Amino acid sequence: MKVIGKGVINEFKAKHADARSQVDSWLAEAEAAVWETPAGVKQRYGSASIINSNVVFNIKGNAYRLWVKINYKNGVVLIKKAGTHNEYMKWSIE
């Protein structure tokens, strides 16, 4: 997949160094992945939340969240937000 919005991840890693390796692992997997449907995402990340074309991944257990929008047809993952669980609770994901 082509991942867009890596600046969001870089800012997140600067603030939350304890999650750096998990985020880097997710990014490497996302770039190597070929997700054609939400089912493909769920097959690899069973705890991911699918909301229309949006996906919220758990990072470092339940401590952090990563919100992306996926265009399956074009193979693009747009990183929307990354934050703590409390920050995630305030996001308006549609």
pLDDT at 94: 79
pLDDT at 62: 87
Q: Can you give the pLDDT of all 94 residues of the chain as single tens digits?
A: 999 999 999 999 999 999 999 999 999 999 999 999 999 999 999 999 999 999 999 999 889 999 999 999 999 999 999 999 999 989 999 7
Do 34 and 1 contact (CB within 8 A), yes or no?
Answer: yes
pLDDT at 31: 98
Topology of domain 2-89, per CATH?
Answer: YaeB-like fold (3.30.2310)
Question: Where along the chain do its domains lie?
Answer: 2-89
pTM: 0.93
Rounded to whole angstroms, the maximal C-alpha distance in the chain is: 34
Number of H helices, E strands in the chain: 4, 5
pLDDT at 49: 95
Distance CA 86, CA 25 (A): 23
